[in-house]
Amino acid sequence: MRKTLGMLLAGGVGSRLNILAAYRAKPAVPFGGLYRIIDFTLSNAKNSGLINLGILTQYKPLSLMDHIGNGEAWDLMGRMRGAKILPPRTGAKDSDWYKGTADAIRQNLDYIQNFNSERVLILSGDHIYHMDYSRMVEFHQSRDADLTIAMMQVPLDQAYHFGIGITSENDQIIDWEEKPKRARSTLASMGVYVFNTSFLYDCLSKISEHDFGKNIIPHAIANHRVFAYHFSGYWRDVGTLHAYWDANMDILRPDSGLDLSAWQTYTNLEEEGRSGDRPPTRISSHAKVENSLISQGSMIEGTVSNSILSPGVIIEKGARVENSVLLHDAIVKEHAQLSYVIADKLSHFGRGCKVGTGDRTKPNRKNPDHLKEGLTVIGKMARVPENISIGCNCIIHPKVTETSYAGKDVSDGQTIELK
C-alpha cells in the first residue's frame, strides 16, 4: 500500500438528508453515537495500511475539517504519512465548485503528482461499510488491470440507483450502464476505484467530461483492462433519512453485519463536544434501558428502548424514547414521549410533549420524497414546546423556538420553519 495514494471525495451536499445536512456536509453527519459517517472510510484506510490520503471537501466543510484535524485519530500524521484537506481551488460560487467526481480529481492532479505513487485509490466518504482496501489493490495488481472497481450485488429493483457492470467469466467488465431504468445486471459500483496513476492521468487529460460513472468508466472499458472486485460485506448508502435511521438501527441488530467494535472504527474523540471530555454515563435506579446504545456523558432517568443516543443526551424521569436516534446534548424533559424520531444536536423536548405518534403512511407535504416512512426529524437546536403533539413524517427546522408553533398539535406530514 506504500505505492498507493488515497483520494477521498467528501464534499457531498446530502440534500436528501434534508435538515441533517443544513449545517454540515453529508460525510460529517454524526452516526452511531460517537462517530461521523466519514469515520468508516477513514478507519478502512487506516486498517488497510494506507498512509497518505487527500480529502476533497466542498459543501459546508468546516465541521468536517475540524473533525479530521491533522489525521492523528486515524494514524495519518507523521514524516511519511498524512491526511491533507483539499478544498475547491477557485472560489465560493456554485459554478466554481467541482462539477463531478472526475473533475474533483482532475483539479487536484498537482497534489497527486507530489507523490511517487503507482496507483490511486479513489474513495467516497458517505457510506457505512468495512473493507480491506489492500485486498482490492492486490486483486488489481494480479489482474494487471488499468482500473478496478469495487462492486457488489444489489436487488434488481434498486439497480437504477447505481452504475451497473456487465462482466466476463474472469471478472473483466465488458459493458457499463450508469443508473439504468432497466438493468441487465445487478452488479453495482460502490464508488471505490483503483487506477494505475499513469492511466488516471491519461483518462483525465483526454476526457473533458466530469464524472467517473458517466464518462470515464465507459471510455476505459472500451479501450483498456477494467475489472470488477467483488465485495460481499455490509455496505450502506445513508443518503436518505430512512436509510440513515435504518443503518443506525442495524447497530442494534445482532445479525445485521454492522459491528462497530469488530470493525475497529476510529473517530476524533478530542474534537470539541465529542466524548473525550465527557463524564461517565449515568443511568438511575428507576431508569429502564432496552437494546440501546448509550454514549458517554448521557444521563438516563426515564425509559430508552431500541435507540441510539450520542454523548450528553439527557432523558428525564418519566420520559420515554423508542426507535429513535438522538444526537449530542439533546434533552428530553419529564414525561415526554418520542417514537421514530431523529433529533439533531442540542434539540430540546418540552415536558409532556408527544413526538412521532400518528399515521406513518402520510408523507411530508413539503418534501414527500425525503420523508414518507413514518419518521419525524427535529433540527439542530430546535425546541419542542411542552405538552404539544407532533405527528409522523414531520420536519421541525433548526433553531425553531416555541413561538414558531401555531397551536398544540402538528399534524402528520407538516413542516415547521423558523419564524
Q: What is the pLDDT of residue 210?
A: 81
Catalogue the E-assigned strands of 76-169: 82-86, 119-124, 127-129, 147-153, 163-167
Long-range (24+ apart) CB contacts under 8 A made by 253-262 are: 257/233, 258/128, 258/234, 259/130, 260/32, 260/35
Beta bridge partners, 397, equal: none
Q: What is the pLDDT of residue 92?
A: 46
Rounded CA gap, 269 and 76, in Å? 15
- Digit-by-digit pLDDT tens for the chain (419 residues) are 889 999 999 987 778 999 999 889 999 999 999 999 999 999 999 999 999 999 999 888 888 999 999 999 999 988 788 999 998 765 445 455 777 889 999 999 999 999 999 999 999 999 999 999 999 999 999 999 999 999 999 999 999 999 999 999 999 999 999 999 999 999 999 999 999 999 999 999 888 778 899 899 999 999 899 999 999 999 999 999 999 999 999 999 999 999 998 999 999 988 755 556 789 999 999 999 999 999 999 999 999 999 999 999 999 999 999 999 999 999 999 999 999 999 999 999 999 999 999 999 999 999 999 999 999 999 999 999 999 999 999 999 999 999 999 988 999 999 999 97
The cell for 144 is 494487471
Q: What is the pLDDT of residue 91?
A: 47
DSSP H helices, 192-308, are: 197-206, 217-223, 241-250
The cell for 227 is 475489472
- Residue pair 31/63 in contact (Cβ under 8 Å)? The answer is no
Q: What is the pLDDT of residue 100?
A: 83
Beta bridge partners, 321, equal: 304, 338
The cell for 134 is 489492500
Q: What is the pLDDT of residue 99?
A: 75
Backbone φ and ψ of 191, nearest 5°: 75, 25
Domains of the chain in sequence order: 4-250 (3.90.550.10), 282-416 (2.160.10.10)
- Residue pair 286/317 in contact (Cβ under 8 Å)? The answer is yes
- Residue pair 228/171 in contact (Cβ under 8 Å)? The answer is yes
